Amino acid sequence: MLEPHNLGDILRLPVLADRLAYIDLRDLRHPRALSVQELDHLVAAVAGGLLVRGVRRGDRIGIVAENRLEFIAAYLGIMRIGAVAVPVNYRLPPATVAHVFRDSEICLAFADAARAALVPAGVRIVDFDSDGADGFEALLHRGPIAAVVPDEHEVAEILYTSGSTGVPKGVPLTHRGQLWALANYYCALGSDTPAGSTLVVAPLYHMNGLFFTTVALANRVTVISQARFDARLYLQTVARYRCTILSGIPTMFALMVRERELAAQLNFDSVSEVSIGSAPLTDTLLQKVRGLFARAVVKNGFGTTEAGPAVFGPHPLGLRSPPLAFGYPLPGVQWQLMDGRSVHEGVLALRTPALMNGYLNLPEVTADRMRDAWYVTGDIMRRDANGFFYFVGRADDMFVCGGENIYPTEVEKMLERHAHVHQAVVVPAPDDIKGQIPVAFIVPQHGVRASVDEIRRYALANGPPYAHPRLIVFRDQLPIAGTHKIDRASLIAEAARLSSEMGRASPTGQPGSR
């Protein structure tokens, strides 16, 4: 376990205090860099300033901003005094952002100038970009400050799920649980600890970017931060700063591997580890990423906000993780596979030291997903003979076509094995005869394009006939949601429209009498 008891105190001194902690690249011409000690002092100044402003232990403090140095300083400073950090997804509709503020009872919010208008009236604002009395610099109160030692179940942060199927749900996570999760990825630090760096572009209101940043800081790995993802800029930055560890979601890497001409001009020999998670990964994309970062170990990661997110790690017997396997359950993680076709496959349920106690203000939803203190993930998993876990599909993504269960992820993996398919997403569409049919949205390989008939024949030859896509749509790129994941909701809506236009479904989307 890490020495701190407070998640906001992970920059504990004097361990490697002079090492570079953070480089903010929002302005590429004027990067901002702080050492571990300098960032720790800034975090302490935020904490002291909040105390001067009257913020007390347990108060909920929002952060509404793009990735930047001040975001991390605010995040850690909030928790250091025992207040609760609430990163807010600013890409949500304004009404939904207002709901998050009400639901979590945010009393003060840090915001950048471009998003300050999203903060509801009556909530005090600390503006990252203002030079006035309401600005970030004006808040700071320099000087040492002791971190609050939280109680065993004291909440450190509230993260909100993406809300792709409705209003986002608040997930309260404790200091103790998050420090346990961090400890699973923590290495003992000393003067001989090799220097490393990582590039973070995943939004810090999402568990992927936020947890990975804290892991890097705790391990004295320099965090290089960009406000948003751009595939070409990302690759150029990795090469320029000689990054050693990369993390992201499949969509990001799918865009990177398309930049073949640029990649051929850059040197990625410094990259030793690549972790891909937060969404399903196909074997085809995995091989392309390995080709791009030839010296790196590429890992398929799994985690949920509710679980804190640490779940899987290395095998206790040292067995090498097979391609696409998530790994072996970490020590302290209890698991079971429910409602499956066999004891080796089913919906994953978890108990972990980092697990939430329940959703914020949602007792009925909590009762549905938390059963006897087990969190039911909704992810269908398969376990092999050595205890490694693999993703099969989402229980709520599964749909029925003519009486047969279809898991979109399995169809996507098959389609992406076609030599001319770069990326595939499969969604259901209403159908008057079959109930629902698979629709495939495909991004072709650069410079080539298979025909619809060729893809259909390939699907029929390489998968169960009932699962072959009845509609195939080629796209130059796929829509991206606020968390950099594929926007499946918009594709489902488009698939329903296409099915109706082709006469396969009644205009209402309900089975008709055809």
Write out pLDDT tens, residues 441-490: 999 988 777 899 999 999 999 988 889 999 999 999 999 876 678 888 89
Distance CA 139, CA 145 (A): 15
pLDDT exceeds 90 at position 22: yes
State pLDDT tens for residues 397-431: 888 888 788 889 889 999 999 999 999 999 999 98
Res. 83: pLDDT tops 60: yes
Q: Which of 279, 230, 262, 270 is nearest to 246 (CA)?
A: 270
pLDDT at 2: 60
**Angstrom distance (rounded) from CA 462 to CA 418:** 10
Report pLDDT for 166: 67
Query: Quick one: three-class SS letters along 116-166?
Result: HHHCCCCCEEEECCCCCCCEHHHHCCCCCCCCCCCCCCCEEEEEECCCCCC
Residue 120 has a pLDDT of 97
Residue 20 has pLDDT above 90, yes or no: yes
Examine residue 303 and state whether it is found in any structural domain, yes or no.
no
The predicted pLDDT at position 514 comes to 28
Whether 294 is in a domain gets the answer no
Whole-number pLDDT of residue 509: 42
The DSSP bridge partners found for residue 276 are 248, 300
pLDDT bin (cut points 50, 70, 90) of residue 393 is: confident
The pLDDT of 124-142, averaged and rounded, is 97
* C-alpha span between 113 and 463 (Å, rounded): 51
Check whether residue 378 and residue 409 sit in a common domain: no
Q: Is the pLDDT of residue 135 over 80?
A: yes
Would you state the torsion angle of the CA atoms of residues 244, 248, 251, 254, taken in this order, to the nearest 10 degrees?
Answer: 10
Shared domain check, 153 and 13: yes
The pLDDT, as a whole number, for residue 446 is 81
Quote the CA–CA distance of 61 and 108 in Å, as a whole number: 5
d(CA 328, CA 109): 39
| pLDDT classification of 433: cutoffs 50, 70, 90 | confident
How far is residue 3 from each of residues 9, 156, 341, 356, measured CA to CA in Å? 9, 16, 44, 22
Mark whether 20 and 165 lie in a shared domain: yes
For residue 443, give Cα distances in angstroms to 225, 255, 256, 288, 494: 29, 11, 14, 15, 16
Please check the confidence at residue 164 and state whether its pLDDT lies above 70: no
The answer to the question of residue 248 being in a domain is no
CA of 471: how far to CAs of 161, 429, 431, 452, 467, in Å?
Answer: 31, 9, 11, 9, 11
Same domain, 353 and 440: no
Residue 167 pLDDT: 84
Strand blocks (E) in 249-333: 273-276, 297-300, 312-313, 328-329
Please report, for residues 154, 160, 273, 303, the alpha-carbon distance to residue 103 in angstroms, rounded to integers and kept in the order given. 18, 10, 38, 24
Among residues 117, 186, 118, 182, which one has the least CA distance to residue 352? 182
Whether the predicted pLDDT of 513 surpasses 70:
no
443 and 466 share one domain: yes
Based on the fold, state whether residues 55 and 110 are members of the same structural domain: yes
Count of CB atoms within 10 A of residue 194's CB? Answer: 9
Strands (E), 148-221: 155-160, 170-174, 197-200
> Would you call the peptide bond into 14 cis, given omega within 30 degrees of 0 as the criterion?
yes
Among 195-199, 254-258, 329-333, 480-484, which is the least confidently predicted range? 480-484
Residue ending a domain, choose from 394, 425, 446: 394
Distance from C-alpha of 129 to C-alpha of 253, rounded to nearest angstrom: 32
- Calculate mean pLDDT across residues 146-165: 87
Question: At which of 123, 150, 174 does a domain end?
Answer: 174
Residue 358: is its pLDDT beyond 80?
Answer: yes
**With pLDDT > 90 as the criterion, what percentage of the chain qualifies?**
77
Q: Which residue do the tokens 């010296």 mark?
A: 295
Let me know if residue 116 belongs to a domain.
Answer: yes
> What global pTM score does this model have?
0.85
Query: Domain of 342: which CATH number?
Result: 2.30.38.10
What is the average pLDDT score of the chain?
92
Say if CB 18 and CB 35 are below 8 A apart: yes
Whether residue 482 is found in the same domain as residue 357: no
Residue 432 binned pLDDT confidence (cut-offs 50, 70, 90): confident
pLDDT band at 359 (very low <50, low <70, confident <90, very high): very high
In a domain, 215, yes or no: no
Q: Specify if 341 maps to a domain.
A: yes
In this predicted structure, what is the pLDDT of residue 511?
35
Q: The domain containing residue 96 runs over which residues?
A: 7-174
Split at pLDDT 50, 70, 90, the class of 280 is confident
Domain count, the chain: 3
Instruction: Please indicate, yes or no, if residue 495 is contained in any of the structural domains.
Output: yes
Name the 3-class secondary structure at 98. helix
Identify which of 76, 87, 84, 86 has the alpha carbon closest to the alpha carbon of residue 57. 84
The CATH number assigned to the domain holding 486 equals 3.30.300.30
376 and 423 both lie in a single domain: no
404/390 same-domain check: no
Q: Evaluate if residue 52 carries a pLDDT over 50.
A: yes
* Residues 168 and 90 occupy one common structural domain: yes
Interior angle at CA 47, CA 42 and CA 50, nearest 5: 125
User: Do residues 361 and 455 share a domain?
Assistant: no
The DSSP string of 433-496 is TTEEEEEEEEEEPTT----HHHHHHHHHHHS-GGGS-SEEEE-SS--B-TTSSB-HHHHHHHHH
Residue 1 clears pLDDT 80, i.e. is over it? no
| Residue length of the chain | 514
| Between 450 and 157, the higher pLDDT residue | 157
Q: Which amino acid, 22?
A: Y
Which pLDDT does position 483 carry in this prediction? 67
Distance CA 221, CA 194 (A): 9
Which of 174, 209, 239 is at the close of a domain?
174
Assess whether 441 and 462 both reside in one domain: yes
Is 184 domain-assigned? no
CATH number of the domain encompassing residue 88: 3.40.50.12780
Query: Cα separation of 338 and 163, whole Å?
Result: 25
CB distance 37 to 20 below 8 Å? no
> What residue type is assigned to position 59 of the chain?
D
